[in-house]
C-alpha cells in the first residue's frame, strides 16, 4: 500500500468511527466505545512489544490502575465530606484512607489516570532493565505482577470493592452519565484520544527514538557496542505503553460503567497480546483493527457458545502466528499475498495434501 492509499484508509476509518453514533444502536455504540478503549492500550503494546521487542503479559495491571484511579474519583464526587462510599460502609471501614481522598480532586484524578500507571511502570522497568532481565523472564515477571495486583484487589474488599470492583457511577465533571448525549460525547472523546495516540506514536516510531527501539529489538548487544545505553530507551517505551494502557482503562471504566478484577487479570492480559498479534505487532492500524475484530468476534461467539470462545481465540492465535506472522496489518505490505500462499503450500505439503518434490538423486538412474 502506497502512502497516499494508506492515508486515505486512515481517513475513511476515522470518519466511520466519528459517524458511528448515527449508524449503530446505543448498545453497539457502547460496545464499540469499550473496544476502542482497548485499542488505546493496544497501540501502547505495539510500541512496547512490536517496536522495542519487550513482551509484556501484564498490561492489565496498568489498564486496571488507570480505571481504578478514575473510578475512585467517580465514587467520591457526589459524597459529602466525611461520608464513605457504600461498599466501605458495608465493610465496616471507619474513615476514608488518604490514598483515596487525594483522588477527590478532579484534576489530580484526571492526571493520575496516566501518571499513576506511568510511575509504576517507570520504577519497575528501571529496576528490571537495569539488571538486564531477558525477554522471557520479563514476560513472566509482568504476569506475576498482574496476578499479585488482582489478588490484592480481590482480597481488600473494604478498600477496593473486592471481586465486584467499583461500579454505580452517576456523574462526571458535573455531567450525568445516564444521558445519551453524554455517552456520545464520551465515545467521541475516546475516538479523539485514540486518533491522537495513533498520530503521536506514528511520529515517535518514525523518529530516531523509534529507530533505536527497532535496533534494540533486532540486536540489543550490537546497539550497546555502538555506544548506546539500552535501559533508558526501553524504560521510556514501557512507560509510554503503561500510560496509554491507563488512559484506555479510564475510558473503558466510563463506557462500561465500572471496573473489576475480572477484566484485568492474567487471562485478560494474555488476550491483550492476542489482539495485537492478530492485527500485527508492528502495525499501529493493524493493532486497532485486530482489537476490534477479536473483541467483536468474542462478543458474538461467546454469547452463542460460551464454552467455545477460549478454544476459538487459541485457534485464532495459532493460525495468525503460523500463516500471518505480521498479523492482518502485514497483508497490506508488498509480497504479503505471495508469502501467504507459500506458507499455505508449505503447510499442505507437510500434511501430505500436496506431493512434495522427490529427491533429485532418485532420478539418477544408471549411476552406481
In a domain, 356, yes or no: no
In a domain, 368, yes or no: no
Per-residue confidence (pLDDT) for residue 261, from 0 to 100: 92
Per-residue confidence (pLDDT) for residue 79, from 0 to 100: 84
Whether 134 contacts 252, CB under 8 Å: no
Per-residue confidence (pLDDT) for residue 235, from 0 to 100: 94
Low-confidence residues of the chain, pLDDT below 70?
A: 1-2, 330-368
At 38-52, the pLDDT tens digits run 999 999 999 999 999
> What span, in angstroms and rounded, lies between the C-alpha atoms of 25 and 22?
8
In a domain, 253, yes or no: yes
In a domain, 367, yes or no: no
- 344 lies in which domain range? 3-351
In a domain, 365, yes or no: no
In a domain, 366, yes or no: no
In a domain, 227, yes or no: yes
The total number of structural domains in the chain stands at 1
Q: Checking phi first, is residue 286 left (phi over 0); if not, alpha (psi -120 to 50) or beta? A: alpha
Per-residue confidence (pLDDT) for residue 337, from 0 to 100: 55
Per-residue confidence (pLDDT) for residue 236, from 0 to 100: 95
Amino acid at each position: 500500500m502506497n502512502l497516499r492509499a494508506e492515508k486515505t484508509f486512515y481517513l475513511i476509518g476515522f470518519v466511520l468511527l466519528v459517524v458511528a453514533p448515527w449508524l449503530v444502536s446505543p448498545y453497539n455504540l457502547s460496545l464499540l466505545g469499550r473496544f476502542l478503549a482497548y485499542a488505546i492500550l493496544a497501540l501502547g503494546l505495539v510500541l512496547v512489544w512490536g517496536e522495542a521487542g519487550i513482551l509484556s503479559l501484564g498490561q492489565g495491571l496498568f489498564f486496571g490502575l488507570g480505571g481504578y484511579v478514575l473510578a475512585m474519583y467517580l465514587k467520591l464526587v457526589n459524597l459529602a465530606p466525611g461520608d464513605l462510599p457504600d461498599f466501605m460502609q458495608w465493610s465496616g471501614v471507619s474513615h476514608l484512607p488518604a490514598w483515596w481522598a487525594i483522588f477527590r480532586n478532579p484534576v489530580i484524578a484526571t492526571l493520575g489516570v496516566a501518571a499513576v500507571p506511568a510511575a509504576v511502570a517507570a520504577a519497575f522497568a528501571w529496576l528490571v532493565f537495569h539488571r538486564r532481565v531477558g525477554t522471557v523472564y520479563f514476560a513472566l515477571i509482568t504476569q506475576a505482577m498482574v496476578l499479585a495486583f488482582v489478588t490484592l484487589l480481590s482480597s481488600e474488599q473494604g478498600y477496593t470493592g473486592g471481586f465486584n470492583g467499583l461500579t454505580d457511577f452517576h456523574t462526571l465533571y458535573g455531567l450525568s452519565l445516564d444521558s445519551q448525549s453524554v455517552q456520545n460525547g464520551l465515545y467521541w472523546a475516546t475516538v479523539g484520544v485514540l486518533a491522537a495516540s495513533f498520530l503521536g506514536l506514528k511520529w515517535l516510531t518514525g523518529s530516531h527514538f523509534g529507530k533505536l527501539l527497532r535496533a534494540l529489538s533486532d540486536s540489543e548487544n550490537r546497539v550497546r557496542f555502538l555506544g548506546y545505553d539500552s535501559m533508558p530507551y526501553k524504560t521510556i517505551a514501557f512507560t509510554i505503553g503503561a500510560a496509554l494502557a491507563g488512559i484506555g482503562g479510564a475510558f473503558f471504566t466510563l463506557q462500561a460503567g465500572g471496573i473489576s478484577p475480572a477484566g484485568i487479570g492474567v487471562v485478560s492480559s494474555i488476550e491483550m497480546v492476542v489482539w495485537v498479534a492478530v492485527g500485527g505487532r508492528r502495525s499501529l492500524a493493524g493493532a486497532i483493527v485486530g482489537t476490534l475484530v477479536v473483541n467483536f468476534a468474542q462478543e458474538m461467539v461467546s454469547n452463542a457458545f460460551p464454552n467455545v470462545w477460549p478454544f476459538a481465540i487459541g485457534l485464532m492465535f495459532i493460525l495468525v502466528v503460523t500463516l500471518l506472522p505480521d498479523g492482518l496489518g502485514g497483508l497490506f505490505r508488498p509480497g504479503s499475498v505471495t508469502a501467504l500462499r507459500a506458507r499455505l503450500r508449505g503447510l499442505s505439503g507437510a500434511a501430505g495434501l500436496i506431493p512434495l518434490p522427490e529427491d533429485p538423486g532418485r532420478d539418477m538412474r544408471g549411476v552406481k
